[in-house]
């Protein structure tokens, strides 16, 4: 305001000079007025026209200022979607300090922290009031995710990705609070007990490579929307009947590299079509009739690298009649009369993987049907 008064006084003095000296001073008046106008404009906007000539002053919007969140990085795309990467954060305290700031726009698409050995505990409140749709905290030293650490994103999160860490403690009891959660992956951690999960939206679950050792029959009873389950190499030795019952959308079941020795009636129940069941690399030597249900034409069951010695017609013929393809490679099959029903029927034989061999290495597809016609 003081500057405005000063400039106004200068203008009055110039006008007085004009009245005394006549028209010769008109040009001076014009120049003085222009200077006053520019001074007033610069005082109000803080920018000269030549500033504008170089383009508008750049901002990080919608991202926070880069200096304020370093060493985290925020990027945005053409639709102003923001992505936060804090892979270089140096401590839990630093992460909390960065996230506690009041950002212009607190809604982020994703938070990525990868290959970080400094973050061992994701503490409650560490992410401030910011929200995220996806969490990708992977390949690091994370051991614990505290209850409440992700609470600000209960209504927005669709993906929780915590693969390849050292996690022993995770807020499984809060999964039901993530009302839009579709993917939960905590592969290759140190989770000792199979968690009780409750979610009406969860479609993809991966808990592979965790030292659980067992899995309750009720493991998936409260996750009806599941489409894909990956529980590879978790040490389970038993599949109780009904474990996968009530999942009409289930299309992929990954159970390879476990300690399964047998399959009881009702062990595997699918229902979506275009299904793949992976039971390879176990120790399965016995499969009961009606162990599989819900499989239809075009579905696949992978049983390679197990301990099967016989292919009992009562067990496998119903699946093949429905059009299911079976992979029995790398099993010590004796290839006796138990497989006559396969060798003597080309249609059935076509549903067995062509690389399946007997224990002596001979391919089943190369066996002479005449032997089985005569001896069986």
74-101 confidence digits (pLDDT tens): 999 989 999 999 999 999 999 999 999 9
pLDDT for position 41: 38
Whether pLDDT at 290 is above 80: yes
Tokens of residue 77, six digits: 């795309």
352: alpha, beta or left, given left = phi > 0 and alpha = psi -120 to 50? Answer: beta
Helix (H, G, I), strand (E, B) or coil at 324: coil
Whether pLDDT at 266 is above 90: yes
What span, in angstroms and rounded, lies between the C-alpha atoms of 264 and 262?
7
* Options 3.30.930.10, 3.80.10.10, 4.10.520.10, 1.10.357.10; CATH of 70-332: 3.80.10.10
Q: Around Cβ 157, how many Cβ atoms within 10 Å? A: 22
Q: Which pLDDT band, with edges at 50, 70 and 90, does 119 fall under?
A: very high
Residue 328: name the closest of 354, 351, 311, 303 by CA: 303
Residue boundaries of the structural domains of the chain: 70-332
Average pLDDT over residues 301-321: 98
Overall pTM > 0.75: yes
**For the purposes of burial, counting CB atoms within 10 Å of the CB of 65, is it exposed (0-12), middle (13-18) or buried (19 or more)?**
middle
Tokens of residue 290, six digits: 């009606």
């Amino acid at each position: 305001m003081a500057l405005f008064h000063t400039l106004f006084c200068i203008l009055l003095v110039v006008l007085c000079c004009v009245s005394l000296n006549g028209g010769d001073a008109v040009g001076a008046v014009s120049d003085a007025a222009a200077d006053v106008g520019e001074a007033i404009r610069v005082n109000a906007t803080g920018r000269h026209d030549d500033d504008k000539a170089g383009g508008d002053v750049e901002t990080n919007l919608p991202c926070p200022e880069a200096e304020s969140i370093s060493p985290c990085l925020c990027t945005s795309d053409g639709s102003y979607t923001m992505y936060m990467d804090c892979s270089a954060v140096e401590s839990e305290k630093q992460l909390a300090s960065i996230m506690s700031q009041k950002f212009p726009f607190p809604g982020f698409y994703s938070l990525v922290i990868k290959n970080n050995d400094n973050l061992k505990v994701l503490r409650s409140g560490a992410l401030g009031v910011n929200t995220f749709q996806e969490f990708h905290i992977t390949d690091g030293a994370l051991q614990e995710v505290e209850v409440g650490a992700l609470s600000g994103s209960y209504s927005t999160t669709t993906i929780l990705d915590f693969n390849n860490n050292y996690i022993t403690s995770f807020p499984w009891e809060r999964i039901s609070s993530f009302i839009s959660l579709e993917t939960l992956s905590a592969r290759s951690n140190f989770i000792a007990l199979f968690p009780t999960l409750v979610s009406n939206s969860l479609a993809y679950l991966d808990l592979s490579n965790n030292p659980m050792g067992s899995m309750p029959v009720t493991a998936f009873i409260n996750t009806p929307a599941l489409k894909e389950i990956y529980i590879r190499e978790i040490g389970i030795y038993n599949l109780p009947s009904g474990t996968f019952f009530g999942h009409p959308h289930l299309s992929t079941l990954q159970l390879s590299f476990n300690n399964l020795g047998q399959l009881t009636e009702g062990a595997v129940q699918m229902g979506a079509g275009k299904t793949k069941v992976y039971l390879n690399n176990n120790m399965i030597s016995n499969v009961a009739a009606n162990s599989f249900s819900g499989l239809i034409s075009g579905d696949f069951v992978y049983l390679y690298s197990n301990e099967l010695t016989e292919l009992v017609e009562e067990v496998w013929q119903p699946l093949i009649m429905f059009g299911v393809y079976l992979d029995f490679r790398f099993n010590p099959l004796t290839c006796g009369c138990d497989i006559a029903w396969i060798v003597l029927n080309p249609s059935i034989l076509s549903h067995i993987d062509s690389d399946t061999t007997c224990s002596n290495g001979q391919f089943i597809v190369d066996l002479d049907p005449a032997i089985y016609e005569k001896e069986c």
